[in-house]
Amino acid sequence: MKDKKIINIASLLFLLIIQINAVAQTELELLKSRANLYMKDGDEHFNKAFKYYLEQNHDSCYLYSSICLRKNEIKSEINNDKIEILNYLQGVSAAKKSMLDKSLRNFRTISDSSNYRNLKRFWLGYINTMKENYDIALFNYSFWMKESERSNRNIIKTVLHNISICYLLNKNYIEAEKYMKKEERLIEKGDTATLISLKMDFANIYYNQYKDSIAIPLFYESYNLANMFSDLKKKRVTSKNIAVIEKNRKNYKESVQYYEEFIKWNDSIWNRDKVWELTEKDKQLALAEKNREILIKEEELKRESLEKILVMLVSSFLIVVILVYFWIRRRKIIYENKLETLEKTNKERNRISKELHDGILGKLFGVRFGLGFMELKTDKETLEKYEQFLNELKDIEKEIRDVSHRLNKPVGIEIDFFNEIEKMIQKKSLIGNFEYSLDFSKPEKLNFVTSKIKFEVLRVLEEAFQNIIKHSKADKVQLKIELIDKSMHLELKDDGLGFALQLLSQEGIGISNMRSRVEEMKGEFLVLAKIDFGTTIKLKIPLKTEKV
């Protein structure tokens, strides 16, 4: 399989940078005329930034333009033209240092009506090409094409070249070839550098379309021209292209030969650039290092300040969470203790009620019943007293029966059943990130359900909602409660992941606890589930009302 990507990166993007350098030099006079005015103001940082820009010392240019922009920002100086020049200098330096996002921000600050709008659009096109945002790059190049119709031949040629490169990298080979042919018509006689680049561009178009019979001769033509030309970078790129081509053709011996040639030119370029670079860097190393230390120190101080603020916020949040947790836990313990006490009280009341009803009341009834069948032969006054005692015994029985019934009525914590359910599902929906719907049928009748049943149902729902949050991943939850034939019917349904019903033979503690609570209330518990179709829990609980 052909290694097309290597050829694109090794030649096309490199050629794009070369063309931009040429245009930057052409348009440089536009900046010089304005920048020279500000250099007379004695602004040392501005002067150094522009000086290093002209010398293509991008590290130093970036540093001094940054200092100058920050200084102007602090002083609130309003000189849009000067600020735009500084943003242009820093944007070019950032782009050369591959700081593409920073470079984009610099160029975007330059106005579309500025004297430097053409350079702005050109660089925006270049940076977006490097970031593979080809549509945005083409928009900026096309915008400049309209502006550059009155420009010189070299600028138009450069824009056409970069538009064709964008289309080529975006695999729109028809448009790429069209713009390259337009560029070809503008090449002047003796312009060997542009001719070499153009032949490589055409070769890449055909090579990426697997038209090897056309592409390979063009690659060799560009290679032969480069060998007769003085530009080391052209020699390096063309030799790398031939090495890749021969490798793809499985001519490994020839491929190695051209790779060795590529390495030779690459080393020559590196050595040449290194000598030029070291001479200038030795002069500026101390100053640049000092400024870097200052910038690093400032960043460290900012970071330490942010870390302290973050620690304080996190600590405060944790303290609040812990306090809320213990407050909720304490309320829960108090509630459970109170409920346990009330359960014990109700059991004792029920026991006393049974003793009164089944024991004392039964004996009194027996005595009164026996006395009622006795035949007394006595005077009328005595018989009247006898009847009076029997009626008093009957009244005592009625009073004991009323006391027994009142004792048999349970006392409990007053639970606003529906309000508690609504608060619970609102809270769980926020945690589980699901939507919910509630349907309470005949709520006025359900209000008479005993506190014990209300409490146990709330516990079952709490466990069910926990399972939905932990396992179901549901988007929607429906809860329906209604009264049918003196029983409470509850259905909780979700549209989550569900599970296989056969796994219920190994049901976990949660489902086991829910089932146990429902069975204690003499109710029925049912789980319906299917993988990817959610889970439904159904309860049927016989009601014991608190009505007298």
Rg value, the chain, Cα: 46
Going by C-alpha positions, the residue among 488, 486, 487, 501 that lies closest to residue 536 is: 501
Among 270-279, 307-316, 365-374, the least confident range: 270-279
At residue 280, the pLDDT reads: 53
Average pLDDT over residues 263-289: 64
Instruction: Quickly state the pLDDT bin for 477 (edges 50, 70, 90).
Output: very high
What do you get for the CA distance between the two ends of the chain, in Å?
A: 89
Transcribe 426-454 into DSSP letters.
HHHHHHHT-EEEEEESSHHHHTTB-HHHH
Residue with tokens 């290597």: 6
CB 187 within 8 A of CB 195: yes
**What number is the average pLDDT over the span 504-515?**
72
For position 6, what pLDDT does the model report? 37
Is a pLDDT exceeding 60 seen at residue 277? no
Range scoring the smallest mean pLDDT among 84-93, 144-153, 291-300, 437-446: 144-153
Q: Which is more confidently placed, 437 or 269?
A: 437
Is pLDDT at 1 greater than 90 in this prediction? no
Provide the 10 A C-beta neighbour count for residue 474.
22
**Cα distance between residue 258 and residue 243, in whole Å:** 5
Residue 9: its pLDDT value, please?
38
Confidence check: pLDDT of 502 > 80: no
Helix boundaries (H) for 170-229: 173-185, 192-208, 212-227
Strand arrangement, sheet containing 476-484: 435-440, 476-484, 487-494, 535-542, 524-529
Rounded Cα distance, 414 and 149, in Å: 86
**Residues in Cβ contact with 89 at an 8 Å cutoff, skipping those fewer than 6 apart:** 49, 50, 53, 61, 65
Q: What is the mean pLDDT of the chain?
A: 79
pLDDT in tens, 32-56: 777 777 777 777 888 888 888 888 8
CA distance 134 to 45: 36
Q: How confident is the model at residue 217 (pLDDT cuts 50, 70, 90)?
A: very high
In sequence order, which ranges of 209-251 are alpha helices (DSSP H)?
Answer: 212-227, 232-248
Please report the pLDDT score of residue 531 as a whole number: 87
Apex 73 CA angle, 71 and 77, nearest 5:
95
Query: Which whole number is the average pLDDT over 225-232?
Result: 82
Residue 244: CB atoms within 10 A of its CB come to: 24
Residue with tokens 């970036």: 62
**Stretch 317-342: mean pLDDT:** 85
Alpha-carbon distances of 96 from 93, 100, 169, 312, 506, rounded to whole Å: 5, 9, 20, 41, 65
**pLDDT confidence of residue 546:** 52
CB atoms < 10 A from the CB of 537, how many?
A: 24
Q: Please, how many CA atoms are within 13 Å of residue 29, restricted to the half-sphere of its CB?
A: 2
H/E element holding 348? helix 252-354
d(C-alpha 383, C-alpha 372), whole Å: 12
Regarding predicted confidence, which is higher, 224 or 503? 224
d(CA 133, CA 129): 6
- What's the rounded Cα separation, in Å, for the pair 178 and 180? 6
In the predicted structure, residue 409 carries a pLDDT above the cut 70: no
Percent of the chain's residues with pLDDT above 90: 7
**Confidence band, pLDDT 50/70/90 cuts, at residue 449:** confident
Looking at residue 61, the DSSP 8-state letter turns out to be: H
Residues 225-230, mean pLDDT to the nearest whole number: 83
- Per-residue pLDDT reduced to its tens digit, 356-375: 666 676 677 677 667 766 66
pLDDT band, residue 2 (cuts 50/70/90): very low
Looking at mean pLDDT, say which of 77-81, 181-185, 379-383, 487-491 comes out highest.
487-491
Determine the distance from the C-alpha atom of residue 198 to the mean position of all C-alpha atoms in its chain, rounded to a whole number. Answer: 45
At residue 333 the predicted structure's pLDDT band, cuts being 50, 70 and 90, is confident
Strand partners, 545: 449
Q: What is the pLDDT of residue 75?
A: 62
Spatial contact of 164 and 201, defined as CB atoms under 8 Å apart: yes
Length of the chain: 548
pLDDT, mean of residues 257-268:
83
Which pLDDT score, from 0 to 100, does residue 81 have? 81
* Lookup: tokens for 446: 């359900």
Selected residue with higher pLDDT from 470 and 393: 470
Q: How confident is the model at residue 504 (pLDDT cuts 50, 70, 90)?
A: low
Mean pLDDT of 154-160: 76
155 φ/ψ angles, rounded to the nearest 5 degrees: -65, -45
Number of Cα atoms under 13 Å in the Cβ half of residue 492: 22
Reply yes or no on whether the pLDDT at 23 is more than 70: no
User: What is the predicted pLDDT for the residue at 544?
Assistant: 67
pLDDT of 492 higher than 90: yes
Bridge partners of 491, per DSSP, are 480, 538
pLDDT for 537 equals 93
Confidence of residue 269 (pLDDT cuts 50, 70, 90): low
